[in-house]
Amino acid sequence: MKNLLLNGDFLDVIKGVKDSSVDLVLTDPPFRVIAGGSNESPFKGNARGRPRGILTKNDGRLFKHNDITPSEYMPELYRVLKPGRDAYVMTNNLTLASLLEAGDAAGFKRHGLLFWIKNTRTPSRWYMKNTELVVYLYKPPARAINDPRSKQTFEATNPRNKSHPTEKPVELMEHYVLNSTEPGWLVLDPFMGSGTTGVACANTGRDFIGIEIDQNYFTVAKARLAEATSQREAA
């Protein structure tokens, strides 16, 4: 298998990826998150006040590089994806509308919404969140997934001891990789974080391109992918 890891700003680096050269886009882009609101509440001090663990800052940021928007990255993802191939883009309810709008404008067609059941919950005063949204798109024509018995929901425990605040379980990424690619196909994660998508590709025999702007996370991703590749080659 072949891996290409690139450290830099997506909007600059993606220019070097050829049109219609990628078999799958699988990514968790940065997006704003829901903060907890003010501590001042008419219910402060009882069960309807702010739950413990809720974000107290209202800037909606989990990490430094958090400002790119779907209208900036979706056209490029469409450009590099081959016709008849899929894209899985993770999001939340704050960004869902703008992501769908940008996907439509770029030319993507929608298969629908998928849900990761993560077996943990994010504290909130408006229903605690124990799932994450995955927008499932394709570049026409549509292609059936490899296991049509797969459900709209996929359950995988949220990783502990994360290297990245939004790190996803490897088995979740493997599920989407296995359903939408064949061995040797090329998978792109343009916001790879700590490299979970790359590990999933190494485990399943797919080629991988990963882009990450943060040097620290890029270093972690390189190490994780090198270890996963070494383990597969030794098996």
The predicted-structure confidence for 128-182, as pLDDT tens digits, reads as follows 889 999 999 999 999 999 999 999 999 999 887 877 777 899 999 999 999 999 9
Average pLDDT (99-109) is 98
Strands 129-139 and 109-122: antiparallel
**What pLDDT is stored for residue 175 in this prediction?**
98
> How far separated are the first and last CA of the chain, in Å rounded?
14
How does residue 48 score in pLDDT terms, banded at 50, 70 and 90?
A: low
State the average pLDDT for the chain: 88
**What pLDDT is stored for residue 127 in this prediction?**
84
Phi, psi of 111 (to 5 degrees): -85, -35
Closest alpha carbon to 89 in 156, 136, 36, 32: 136
Instruction: Give the strands of the sheet with 153-155, arranged side by side.
Output: 3-7, 207-212, 186-189, 22-27, 81-91, 129-139, 109-122, 153-155
CATH 3.20.20.100 fits 3-31+67-234, yes or no: no
| E-strand stretches of 57-202 | 81-91, 109-122, 129-139, 153-155, 186-189
Share of the chain above pLDDT 90, in %: 71
Rounded to whole angstroms, how far apart are CA atoms 73 and 76? Answer: 5
**What pLDDT is stored for residue 34 in this prediction?**
52
**What pLDDT is stored for residue 40 in this prediction?**
46
Question: Tens of pLDDT along 192-218?
Answer: 999 999 999 999 999 999 999 999 999
Rounded to whole angstroms, how far apart are CA atoms 139 and 119? Answer: 32
Q: Flag whether pLDDT at 36 surpasses 50.
A: no
Share of the chain above pLDDT 70, in %: 85
Domain boundaries, the chain: 3-31+67-234
Rounded to whole angstroms, how far apart are CA atoms 229 and 71? Answer: 34
Residues whose CB falls within 8 Å of the CB of residue 234, separated by 6 or more in sequence, listed in order: none
Q: Flag whether pLDDT at 43 surpasses 90.
A: no
Nearest-Å Rg of the Cα atoms of the chain is 18
Closest alpha carbon to 136 in 102, 112, 115, 153: 112
